[in-house]
């Protein structure tokens, strides 16, 4: 009986598959039991640095709906939404907070400081020194995480609905919680 080349290759791959995939699946299963690695725990316990190097925790903003907005100054969709988030900060100063966190893809804290000084939005300008963005699986920006007034993770959003769309969706969330 002839076994074609494709079948032989599949048999060899299956031998290696069990040595590569099974340990990977076991490690994933074991790590899923750890609540410290969950998206919720990562967001709720996130700590960033402000542009002067001081640590800022998401927990510092309990009592407000918090938007953690991962951005960089070259990201057009990120910058397009900043004016509408600034408007919401002005409309709901006691209920809504923006943590504008530069992720360090191509920029450092100095670049974020220059942008903040030039544009003047009323955000908490932060830098992701500890890799929260990567831990959350962030691979691109805009990337946003929301935290409720009790400090609990709500959701992650990737991309943007544009200035008006993000404004309306975020305003609905603020009004839902307050």
Q: Quick: pLDDT tens for 65-82.
A: 999 999 999 999 999 999
pLDDT at 52: 92
pLDDT band, residue 37 (cuts 50/70/90): confident
Q: Give the architecture (CATH level 2) of 37-177.
A: 3-Layer(aba) Sandwich (3.40)
For the cut 80, the answer to whether the pLDDT of residue 85 exceeds it is yes
Q: What percent of the chain has pLDDT over 90?
A: 75
Give the separation between CA 81 and CA 78, rounded to whole angstroms: 6
pLDDT at 44: 98
> Over the chain, what is the mean pLDDT?
85
Could you give the C-alpha distances from 58 to 39, 41, 173, in angstroms and in order? Answer: 14, 11, 18
Domain limits of the chain?
A: 5-33, 37-177
Produce one character per residue of 133-170: b if its CB has 16 or more CB atoms within 10 Å, e if not.
Answer: beebebeebbbbbbbbbebebbebbeebeebeebbeeb
Residue 123 has φ and ψ, to the nearest 5°, of -115, 165
């Amino acid at each position: 009986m002839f076994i074609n080349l494709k079948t032989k290759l599949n048999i060899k791959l299956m031998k290696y598959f069990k040595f590569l995939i099974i340990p990977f699946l076991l490690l994933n299963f074991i790590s899923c039991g750890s609540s410290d690695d969950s998206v919720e725990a990562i967001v709720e316990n996130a700590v960033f640095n402000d542009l002067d190097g001081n640590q800022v925790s998401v927990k510092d903003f309990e009592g407000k709906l918090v938007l953690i907005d991962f951005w960089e100054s070259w990201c057009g969709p990120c910058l397009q939404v900043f004016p509408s988030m600034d408007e919401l900060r002005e409309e709901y100063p006691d209920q809504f907070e923006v943590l504008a966190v530069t992720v360090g893809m191509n920029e450092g804290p100095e670049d974020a400081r220059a942008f903040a000084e030039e544009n003047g939005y009323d955000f908490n300008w932060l830098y992701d020194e500890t890799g929260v963005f990567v831990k959350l699986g962030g691979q691109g920006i805009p990337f946003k995480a929301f935290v409720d007034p009790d400090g609990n993770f709500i959701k992650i959003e990737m991309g943007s609905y544009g200035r008006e769309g993000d404004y309306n969706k975020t305003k609905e969330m603020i009004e839902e919680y307050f």
